[in-house]
Amino acid sequence: MKVLLVYPPTPDTFWSFKHVLRFVSKRAAFPPLGLLTVAGMLPAEWELKLVDLNVDRLTDDDLRWADYVMISAMIVHKESVPDIVDRCRRFSKPVIAGGPLFTTGHAAFPDVDHFVLGEAEGLMPRLVADMRRGTLRRTYVAPSRPDVALAPAPRWDLIDLRHYVTMSVQFSRGCPFDCEFCDIVVMNGRVPRTKSPAQLIAELEQLRQHGWQDMVFVVDDNFIGNKTQAKALLRELIRWRTRTRTRMGFMTEASANVADDPELRDLMVRAGFKKVFVGFETPSTESLKECRKMQNCGRDLVETVKTLQRAGLEVMGGFIVGFDNDPTDIFKRQFEFIQRSGVVTAMVGLLTALPETRLYRRLMEEGRLVAESTGNNTQATLNFRPILDREFLVSGYRELMKKLYEPRNYYQRIRTFLEHHRAEGPRLRLAWSDFHAFLKSLWLLGVWHRGRRAYWRFCVTTLLRRPRQLNRAMALTIIGHHFRCVAKSL
């Protein structure tokens, strides 16, 4: 059996980091972890080929070769999927589609032959048997939340690791919180399910054996959803680091209460975690209560950021505007919070109602839902009727993004971060690509692009005042270029 696995091209979003790739000579930020994991569930004797359209082209020869085509996609890939399906249909190749896009929105794709809805681990034996017989059903629905320990190691051999900035692994699924706008509970539930520490260490060891020594994104919905298991993993990671002397670094997503546990923070840093993405959403307490982001209420969010920075973690932040309870000065308050806290990578989006979320259902009941979500919160559009004036929100969002990533404001935010951040934990490998990226930044940011005066002023002051932090500072200047390009495109 010959199976072609296809991952759609990702549009220009916060997480695509498209405008960083030219600096580091890579083709994509992250590999298609879902497809790589599904590939590990297929029989070992089957022939597999993976085409990541962020890295390679899908050729006619690829399609002629395949018996089946498997597509995995997120909501953000919605617009690009029909073209892939049309090409498959021209070659009479049956398509099996799965992933978040289809789990909540498969009805929008009548030309797809077969769907896998939900998590695949419990479905694969039946799906494989039907593929062998050529008797595939239209739809396969996951009967329950599977034990994630059933997930195999990703098939790293199907991709060229050199094309990616960061590798990805998953330790847990699910989140104990219930934010109204979030689709994690819809997809993965509120009870975090984890792999064993030994299982994840084995996956990382495979990556190391393949030669990977750079950053790894632990893509959990909330890495600390099960703190006991997270701490057990971190202790094993520390031992593994000592034993193998790996230079890998880690980043992940976690809720704000990660700042409340000194032991947890210390273990993360000692294990090699360098960055953590936290959903702050808004400085408005009323808006936090509205969306049931209760874990952020009653705490000083600026101090939360600084606590994590002092521990040795760079904090990336998610922010949302467009809540019903947002005051008219929300854009000013968001800007001031982000600048004061030193959240350099601030991913701000307009609120969107994702399919099947509690927000989606509420807005539908209120008659306020006007369109389906594109999954791309960088688009200056809303798919519902807001309380605040729509034009006010859209124009305010555009101005906020441009202001946040205006060179002078952005470099000031890096200075605030460097002032509080302590470079703790193991040191990461400094690769030739890092030096090459720095040289490119000297030309593109220091000569070619607007903001060059602020760039040179920042470089010189950092070199004089914080020379040991220069490498991290330069990396952040390059990341800022990506977000500045995103802001200009709004």
**pLDDT tier at 22, thresholds 50, 70, 90:** confident
Exposure on the CB side of residue 286, measured as CA atoms within 13 A: 8
- pLDDT tens per residue across span 395-441: 999 999 999 999 999 999 999 999 999 988 888 776 767 777 888 88
- Residue written as token pair 């939340």: 145
Exposure on the CB side of residue 427, measured as CA atoms within 13 A: 6
- Are the CB atoms for 29 and 17 separated by under 8 Å? yes
CA distance 199 to 153: 8
Region 247-268: what's the mean pLDDT? 98
CA distance 456 to 442: 9
pLDDT number for residue 432? 67
- The answer to which of 220-224, 322-326, 451-455 has the lowest mean pLDDT is 451-455
Pairing of strands 314-321, 172-173: unpaired
Percent of the chain at pLDDT above 70? 99
Mean pLDDT of the chain: 95
| Angle formed by the axes of helices 452-465 and 407-420, nearest 10° | 20
State whether residue 169 is helix, strand or coil.
strand
CA distance 330 to 320: 10
pLDDT number for residue 440? 84
Rounded to the nearest 5 degrees, what angle is found at the Cα of 350, between the Cα atoms of 344 and 351?
A: 120
pLDDT at 375 over 90: no
pLDDT number for residue 184? 93
- The answer to which of 5-9, 14-18, 254-258 has the lowest mean pLDDT is 14-18
Question: Within the chain, how many helices (H) and strands (E) appear?
Answer: 19, 14
State whether residue 76 is helix, strand or coil.
helix
Q: Which amino acid is at 86?
A: D
Contacts for 461 with CB less than 8 Å, ≥ 6 apart: 415
CA distance 458 to 447: 14
Phi first, then psi: what are they for 96, rounded to 5°? -115, 115
Neighbour tally for 310: CB within 10 Å: 14
Exposure class string for 271-289: b at 16+ Cβ within 10 A, else e: bbbbbbbbbbbbbbeebbe
Q: Which amino acid is at 325?
A: N
CA distance 386 to 486: 24
**pLDDT tier at 86, thresholds 50, 70, 90:** very high
| Residue 148 CB burial class (10 angstroms; 0-12, 13-18, ≥19) | buried
Start-to-end CA span in the chain (Å): 45
- The answer to which of 49-53, 267-271, 459-463 has the lowest mean pLDDT is 459-463
Contacts for 294 with CB less than 8 Å, ≥ 6 apart: 177, 288
